[in-house]
């Protein structure tokens, strides 16, 4: 066991280090079980201090009143500095959620690209001169929401936090980030870089701590004007209720149980590869994981055999080792949760075709490792097929025709993503339009562009992040009527 770092890292309040007087929080490296870092946490009093500082900065206009191109210049600089810090940021994330260093590096680069994208959007976004219906001009301008609370999960903090911080700042808001208690390090590091790039004092705070204490105090605080949340559907519902009571806007990116569909006319090798990556890249700890696979009956065995062979060949190992395809799950508690779902699937008559167990060997003893697991023989209504496991578990089901497929694929409370593999593009289009999902991939999966709106239907969320409109999410439109009465024609 390595000695934990001596001094817990402070909070960031109004751009400055500030002591957190809540219980110290240990971040655990899931590859070893060691404490990788320690963090001071906020109490409701420190939440209050951060909200007051954010509100005061907003009212002073130190950020809101900057011209968009001035804000963009600072966000471009933040992007440059984040890219320079790729290795540091990637290592922090790897030590807190166990993703491979290779994937963490890619996510740190994506975080920089996200800042660059929203800097460009900030500089080029326009208001509107709407068609007049009287003797006046109507202009629509977009005001920042005010003080925005951002609450994030542990699976991909670098990308998810950049995806909220960059547009919320681009829109001119004061921002308070509450990162997951499992991964506070990424948000703190990103925010420090952003402050060093020139975001003025007062505008940005990061409050480490649990959802029950810090998240809850933030959501209930009367000084918060908007909440942007990514996490589980149950938490999202709790937050939405509180936001509804206060009548403040609330954007929710929630869970998923995404259907991945292979038709008999698909390129089977490419489809199997896409399905495999769709669930087992990031070990299913991805909101868009394609966790329910529907295969047209004539090619069912051919696809399943390919997937089982791939699952057995997947190399688990230390996340620092470039030859590891995947590392451990993000925490020991999460592994237990995955194991409970696999046990449940067995009880419900599921046949485990691959995995269903921890890997053996000394290299795995101290980490939260779990083999990629493929299950067949379950009904689409079984709990393992209905509930989000958020782990490396793929449930495979056959289908007979399009009607049967759509009935099964859409029979879920979620609606985040879906994938379709077929050579018939007309059929692909027809199915894509009928699937109840915020994102549909055709002959690919898990491609994510910052330029395309992203979000969920049904219980997978409310609102859309990313894309040019991703900045609008953090604004409120204001219509201004300018009278032309008495003027010349």
Of 378, 435, 477, 365, give the one whose Cα is nearest residue 127.
Answer: 477
CA 69/CA 67 separation, integer angstroms = 5
- What is residue 423's three-state secondary structure? coil
Q: For residues 427 and 472, which CB has a smaller minimum distance to ligand NAD in the complex?
A: 472
Angle, CA of 59, 54 and 466, to the nearest 5°: 100
Give min distance, CB of 157 to ligand NAD, in A: 9
CA 191/CA 177 separation, integer angstroms = 9
Give min distance, CB of 450 to ligand NAD, in A: 13
CA 73/CA 312 separation, integer angstroms = 49
Q: What is the CA radius of gyration of the chain?
A: 24
Residues contributing to the site for ligand NAD (CB under 6 A): 151-155, 178, 180-181, 210-212, 215-216, 219, 230-232, 235, 238-239, 253-256, 287, 388, 390, 416, 456, 461
Q: Which of 99, 164, 178, 257 is catalytic?
A: 164
Strand segments (E) across 238-392: 250-253, 259-262, 292-296, 351-354, 373-376
Of 283, 301, 262, 236, give the one whose Cα is nearest residue 409.
Answer: 262
Q: Which of 161, 253, 296, 376 is catalytic?
A: 253
Give min distance, CB of 489 to ligand NAD, in A: 52
β-pair type (475-483, 373-376): unpaired
Q: Which of 104, 122, 195, 287 is catalytic?
A: 287
Give min distance, CB of 483 to ligand NAD, in A: 45
The set of residues, in sequence order, having a beta carbon less than 8 Å from that of 419 and lying 6+ positions away, is 258, 259, 260, 261, 274, 275, 278, 290, 440, 441, 442, 444, 445
103 in active site = no
465 in active site = yes
Q: For residues 86 and 291, which CB has a smaller minimum distance to ligand NAD in the complex?
A: 291
Q: For residues 253 and 436, which CB has a smaller minimum distance to ligand NAD in the complex?
A: 253
Q: For residues 96 and 235, which CB has a smaller minimum distance to ligand NAD in the complex?
A: 235
Give min distance, CB of 47 to ligand NAD, in A: 11
Give min distance, CB of 326 to ligand NAD, in A: 17
Which residues lie across from 294 on neighbouring strands?
A: 261, 397
The tokens describing 444, both together, are: 């690919």
Q: For residues 219 and 329, which CB has a smaller minimum distance to ligand NAD in the complex?
A: 219
Q: Which of 385, 459, 465, 466 is catalytic?
A: 465
Angle, CA of 254, 446 and 98, to the nearest 5°: 75
Which residues lie across from 376 on neighbouring strands?
A: 351, 396
Angle, CA of 296, 298 and 303, to the nearest 5°: 70
Give min distance, CB of 308 to ligand NAD, in A: 26
Q: For residues 110 and 299, which CB has a smaller minimum distance to ligand NAD in the complex?
A: 110
Of 219, 210, 215, 213, give the one whose Cα is nearest residue 245.
Answer: 219
Q: For residues 152 and 408, which CB has a smaller minimum distance to ligand NAD in the complex?
A: 152
Provide the annotated active-site residues.
Answer: 164, 253, 287, 465
């Amino acid at each position: 066991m390595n000695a934990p770092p001596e001094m817990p890292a402070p909070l960031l309040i109004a751009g400055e280090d500030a002591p957190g007087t809540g219980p110290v929080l240990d971040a655990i490296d899931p590859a070893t079980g060691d404490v990788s870092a320690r963090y001071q946490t906020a109490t409701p009093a420190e939440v209050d201090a951060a909200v007051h500082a954010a509100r005061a900065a907003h009212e002073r206009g130190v950020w809101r009143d900057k011209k968009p191109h001035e804000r963009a210049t600072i966000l471009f600089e933040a992007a440059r500095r984040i890219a320079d810090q790729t290795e540091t940021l990637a290592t922090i994330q790897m030590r807190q959620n166990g993703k491979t260093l290779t994937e963490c590096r890619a996510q740190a680069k994506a975080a920089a690209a996200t800042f660059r994208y929203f800097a460009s959007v900030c500089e080029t976004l326009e208001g509107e001169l709407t068609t007049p219906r009287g003797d006046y001009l109507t202009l629509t301008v977009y005001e920042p929401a005010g003080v925005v609370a951002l609450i994030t999960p542990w699976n991909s903090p670098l990308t998810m936090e950049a995806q909220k911080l960059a547009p919320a700042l681009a829109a001119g808001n004061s921002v308070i980030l509450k990162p997951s208690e499992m991964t506070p390090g990424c948000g703190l590091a990103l925010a420090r870089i952003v402050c060093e790039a020139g975001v003025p004092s007062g505008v940005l705070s990061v409050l480490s701590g649990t959802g029950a204490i810090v998240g809850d105090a933030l959501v209930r605080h009367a000084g918060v004007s908007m909440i942007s949340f990514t996490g589980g559907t149950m938490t999202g519902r709790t937050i939405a209720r509180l936001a509804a009571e206060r009548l403040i806007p609330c954007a929710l990116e929630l869970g998923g149980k995404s259907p991945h569909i292979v038709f008999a006319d698909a390129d089977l090798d490419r489809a199997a590869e896409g399905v495999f990556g769709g669930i087992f890249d990031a070990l299913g700890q991805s909101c868009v994981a394609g966790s329910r696979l529907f295969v047209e009956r004539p090619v069912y065995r051919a696809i399943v055999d390919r997937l089982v062979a791939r699952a057995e060949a997947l190399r688990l190992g230390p996340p620092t080792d470039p030859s590891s395809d995947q590392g451990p799950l993000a925490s020991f508690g999460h592994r237990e949760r995955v194991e409970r779902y696999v046990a449940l699937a067995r009880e419900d008559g599921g046949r485990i075709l691959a995995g269903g167990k921890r890997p053996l060997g000394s290299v795995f003893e101290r980490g939260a490792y779990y083999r990629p697991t493929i299950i067949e023989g379950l009904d689409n209504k079984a709990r393992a097929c209905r509930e989000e496991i958020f782990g490396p578990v793929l449930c495979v089901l056959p289908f007979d025709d399009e009607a049967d497929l759509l009935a099964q694929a859409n029979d879920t409370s979620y609606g985040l993503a879906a994938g379709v593999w077929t050579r018939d593009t007309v059929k692909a289009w027809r199915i894509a339009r009928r699937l109840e999902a915020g994102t549909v991939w055709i002959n690919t999966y898990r491609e994510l562009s910052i330029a395309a709106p992203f979000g969920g239907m049904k219980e997978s969320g409310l609102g859309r992040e990313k894309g040019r409109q991703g900045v609008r999410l953090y604004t409120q439109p204001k219509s201004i009527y300018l009278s032309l009465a008495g003027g010349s024609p």
